[in-house]
Amino acid sequence: MTEEIPIWRIKYYPKNLDQICGQTEIKKALKNIIHQKNFPHLLFIGVEGIGKTTLATLFSKEFLGTEFGANFKLVYANLPLNEEERKQARSEAYVSTSKVGSIAGRRITTPAFIQIKVKPFAQLKVLGASPFKILVVKNFETLGSNQQGFRRLMETYGSNCRMILITTKISSIIDPIVSRCQIFLIHRVKLEHFAKLMSDIANNESLELSDESIEILYKISEGRIFQAIDLLQLSSVSGNKIDKNVIYENAQRFQNDLVRNLLLISLKGDFPKSRELARKILSNYNYTIHELFKLILNEINKLPLSRYARSEMINLIAEADFRALNGRDSDIQISALLSKFCLFSQYL
Amino acid sequence: MSKTVKMPWVEKYRPKSLKEMALPTARVSGQRVKLDEELVDFIKSFFIERRRVNNENAKIREYNKIVIEKEQKEYLQIDVEKAAVLLEGPPGIGKTSIVYALANDLNMEVIETNASDTRTRATLEKKLKETTKSRGIMDFITESKEKLILIDEVDGIYGVQDRGAVPTIIELVQNTQFPIIMCSNEYKTSLQALYNKIRRFEVHPLPKREVLRIAHNILKNENITQLKEEDLELIIERNNGDLRGVINDIQGISQGKLEGDVKEFILSLRRDSLEEIFTLIRDLFHVNSLREARNLTDRSDVDYNFLYKWVNENLPTFIKTNRELVNAYENLSLADEIFGRIRINQYWGLLPYFFDLFAGGVALSRKETPEAKGFQRVVFPRYSTGSYFSVTGSQKDLVEKLNKKYEISQIDFIQNLLPFLKILCGSSRKQLKNISDWLELDAKQKKLLK
């Protein structure tokens, strides 16, 4: 490409499976699959932001070759249907009595998401010489009870369309699905691979990046490459020399003071407002509920509170986090915590 | 109409006669019919039938007076099919308007009951039976108007205390002295008993050009010229055949400000047809015992998966003090946890605890806050795990531009890339320039990055 891409995470996005940083074993296994030209449904499990989707996409690209465009689809299970699609689902849900066949007059009970986003793709015959199509479903766990609908789908259309399900939470995936898939546990990238990628980028962008800084980058980003690259680019704005102070300084800006505000508002006892803010943080920054709890915990440690108050609040967070682990609606759990903070503020 | 009177346009432009009204198409068991003619026929044949039955009954009455009880004859009833019809169709397409226009044309008086506000058998009976069964003495002396009974939102009857609503309605229909027209929004299996007995007209939304014509008329009448044609079309499209919605939207928009981003405003308008769940939530926070709460949740057909999210969303509306909130949330969060365990381990035996906690436990946490008087706004759960995502028009444009260079989904962009881009562009003008040059952004999209 002749023009310079100003966003580094796009610029350094891997072009093929080999270029993906780290994950040597997984890459080896996937290469093997490509060689054999066959695979069962796959289930990719791993924490957020470590490159599950990148792996799935690039793997599919190599597997399908030139027919990638026609035989590949990526869907987000957590993306709500838009107005048009809902309308379509509604109109398709009832088969008119004027239609011929045993299905006439029936109601189709398939969930709208599957009906609109998955089924048409899975049903359509594979194009070209590829053995089958590949459907990648992201955030599969958010489907909830609709996962049941996938069971039949995976069996009926399995020969035509293989699925790669991506999830962060194996516990919320129902057993019948897990048993139908080959599981890939994806770990965070190792420091050595991470360091190599970072120093390559630094060389390319003529930055001075010490080993210590790389370690700090690794620590802050928790092995999430996109985040690390973002941080690196942000740090490079102020100069070519990147030491740990610059990194820390810029990392602060990612974690803005919204969480602190949230805590302060809830300690003033204003529940509706604090709930609104919590929702904003969760949706805008794509934190999981556990991450948000941890951020709140960090802020509590920074606030000037009595020892008693601090330990009580930490207790409350621990309880809420524990419940969120099992619970299904994180908004309820965060609201419960905030309501407790609101009440607690009366005794401070 | 004087200008100071703020009358809803929907009322103002409600058609007075069937002739001046845009009639929606209707079908009876798949056959297309002319709704106006059918309804007029229905009313006329009803009165013929009523005269016949009343005459017969008068004879029977005379007969019964002279024979012993054993040999007395049963009184005749009007055929149910001739006494009532059901209009079924999406909201706002003119079902109620047809009935009023019809009554006006035939010089009749409409008695309207809204099934969702008189839901118990007793109140339904009280309100309707008097009017249906007996006619006042004065009616025979003075030439009073005939009556037409309109039971609106029949499907709004849901199984709470009004388990007997459908039998009541059928009984009413059997004993009526006046023709009954019922309206309903959707096909409901719980009303099957009703459907079997009476004629059901499926009323379809008006075609777009009809809606457009009516909207133009109104705009002309109200002297509104600022509303652009494309905006009007957008309104109509968004309302999806709901004429009432269109008129309400036009009024809302033209009485508000017409400058600025009208499009965005139109997109933000949304009407809910979820009256049932609204009522349920309101009722839930008025219960006084666990039993009542349980009854409410047991008998409604609202999915509990979904109901407890509504409870969460609307809790602060009904419960005000922090102490009560904590209690309520303690119960709700435990309910959520239990629900999670049920789903993971398939321990469905735990479900009763879940119900009692999220409905009863929460509703009964209200101790200090006085019972809400008047109308409380119930809102849709805006946040539900994982499916909370909205994108504005300008964000959409930005993603489209980016997609030419680099494939990224909307959700990824909003959640992952945009926050970073904002920070990056906020930190240096040079970066902003680079990015906007690369993507060839216009000023509005550039603003989004700042």
| Range with the poorest average pLDDT among B252-256, B261-265, B364-368 | B261-265
Split at pLDDT 50, 70, 90, the class of A1 is: very low
The structural domains of chain A, with segments of one domain joined by +, span 23-81+112-185, 256-347
What average pLDDT does range B115-139 have in this prediction?
54
- pLDDT of res. B376: 64
Which residues from chain A sit within 8 angstroms of residue B273, using beta carbons? none
Cα–Cα distance, A292 to A278 (Å, whole number): 9
Query: How far is residue B27 from each of residues A87, B21, B30, B34, B204, measured CA to CA in Å?
Result: 21, 18, 6, 8, 8
Hunting for tokens 């008329």 — which residue is that?
B217
Q: Within 10 A of A77 (CB to CB), how many other CB atoms are there?
A: 24
| Average pLDDT across chain A, whole number | 83
**Which H or E element spans position A166?**
strand A161-167
| Range with the poorest average pLDDT among A12-21, B89-98, B103-112, B131-140 | B131-140
Whether chain A has a CB inside 8 Å of the CB on B330: the answer is yes
- Tell me what ipTM this predicted complex has: 0.73
Residue A235 has pLDDT above 90, yes or no: no
- pLDDT of res. A99: 65
Cα–Cα distance, A230 to B294 (Å, whole number): 52
Question: In terms of DSSP bridges, do strands B199-203 and B84-88 run parallel, antiparallel, or are they unpaired?
Answer: parallel
- pLDDT of res. B398: 83
Cα–Cα distance, B272 to B264 (Å, whole number): 19
| Range with the poorest average pLDDT among B53-62, B270-279, B282-291 | B270-279
The residue ranking higher by pLDDT, B154 or B205, is B205
Q: Do B333 and A226 touch (CB under 8 A)?
A: no
Q: Within 10 A of A22 (CB to CB), how many other CB atoms are there?
A: 21
pLDDT, tens digit (0-9, with 9 covering 90-100), for A161-212: 889 999 887 777 887 888 888 888 888 888 888 888 888 888 888 888 888 8
CATH dotted code for A256-347? 1.20.272.10
pLDDT, tens digit (0-9, with 9 covering 90-100), for B215-258: 888 888 887 777 777 778 877 777 777 787 788 777 767 665 55
The residue ranking higher by pLDDT, B393 or A267, is A267
Split at pLDDT 50, 70, 90, the class of A320 is: very high
Residue B21 has pLDDT above 90, yes or no: no
Split at pLDDT 50, 70, 90, the class of A318 is: very high
Q: Which of residues 305-334 of A touch B (CB under 8 A)?
A: 320, 323, 326-333
The residue ranking higher by pLDDT, B158 or A309, is A309
Residue in chain B nearest A10 by alpha carbon = B406
- pLDDT of res. B385: 40
Q: Which of residues 238-297 of A touch B (CB under 8 A)?
A: 253-254, 269, 271-272, 275, 279, 282-286
Cα–Cα distance, A44 to B429 (Å, whole number): 40
Split at pLDDT 50, 70, 90, the class of A108 is: low
| Range with the poorest average pLDDT among A149-153, B49-53, B113-117 | B113-117
Whether chain B has a CB inside 8 Å of the CB on A13: the answer is yes
| Average pLDDT across chain B, whole number | 75
| Range with the poorest average pLDDT among A54-58, A104-108, B52-56 | A104-108
B300: Cα within 13 Å, side-chain hemisphere: 24
Q: Which of A6, A271, A332 sits opposite B431 (nearest CB)?
A: A6
Cα–Cα distance, B112 to B151 (Å, whole number): 6
What average pLDDT does range A317-339 have in this prediction?
89
DSSP per residue, A224-287: -HHHHHHHHHHHHTT-SEE-HHHHHHHHHHHS-THHHHHHHHHHTT-HHHHHHHHHHHHHHH--
- pLDDT of res. B158: 46
Which residues from chain A sit within 8 angstroms of residue B438, using beta carbons? 3-7
Cα–Cα distance, A16 to A55 (Å, whole number): 9
Cα–Cα distance, A159 to A179 (Å, whole number): 17
Residue B203 has pLDDT above 80, yes or no: yes
Which residues from chain B sit within 8 angstroms of residue A255, using beta carbons? none
Q: Which of A142, A285, A340 sits opposite B419 (nearest CB)?
A: A285
pLDDT, tens digit (0-9, with 9 covering 90-100), for A37-83: 888 889 998 887 888 888 999 999 888 888 888 888 888 887 777 77
Q: Which neighbouring-strand residues pair with A137?
A: A75, A165
Residue B272 has pLDDT above 60, yes or no: no
- pLDDT of res. B94: 81
- pLDDT of res. A317: 93
The residue ranking higher by pLDDT, B85 or A91, is B85
- pLDDT of res. B271: 41
Express as a percent the part of chain A with pLDDT over 70. Answer: 91
Question: In terms of DSSP bridges, do strands A41-45 and A181-185 run parallel, antiparallel, or are they unpaired?
Answer: parallel
For chains A and B, CB pairs below 8 A equal 150
For residue A153, give how far its alpha carbon lies from the nearest alpha carbon of chain B (Å). Answer: 21
For residue A342, give how far its alpha carbon lies from the nearest alpha carbon of chain B (Å). Answer: 6
Residue A122 has pLDDT above 90, yes or no: no
Q: Cα-flanking dihedrals φ and ψ of residue A3, to 5°?
A: -80, 155
Which residues from chain B sit within 8 angstroms of residue A10, using beta carbons? 405-406
Q: Is A256-347 the same fold as A23-81+112-185?
A: no
Q: Which of A80, A283, A333 sits opposite B333 (nearest CB)?
A: A333
Q: Give the residue from B27, B271, B314, B329 with the most A CB atoms within 10 Å of its CB, the best one to mutate.
A: B329
pLDDT, tens digit (0-9, with 9 covering 90-100), for B394-440: 777 888 888 887 877 777 777 778 878 888 887 788 888 888 888 88
Express as a percent the part of chain B with pLDDT over 90. Answer: 2
- Helix B322-345, helix A307-326: angle, nearest 10: 40
- Helix A307-326, helix A330-344: angle, nearest 10: 160
- pLDDT of res. A336: 92
Give A23-81+112-185's CATH code, choosing from 3.40.50.300, 3.40.1180.10, 3.40.1080.10, 3.30.465.10.
3.40.50.300
Residue B298 has pLDDT above 50, yes or no: yes
- pLDDT of res. B273: 37
Q: Is B143 exposed, middle or buried (0-12, 13-18, 19+ CB in 10 A)?
A: exposed
The residue ranking higher by pLDDT, B107 or B8, is B107
Cα–Cα distance, B245 to B93 (Å, whole number): 9
Closest CA to B150 of B102, B205, B195, B194: B102
Split at pLDDT 50, 70, 90, the class of B2 is: very low
Q: Do A332 and B332 touch (CB under 8 A)?
A: yes
Residue B68 has pLDDT above 80, yes or no: no
Split at pLDDT 50, 70, 90, the class of B387 is: very low
Residue in chain B nearest A9 by alpha carbon = B417
CB B317 within 8 A of CB B380: no
Angle at B146 between CA B142 and CA B148, to 5 degrees: 155
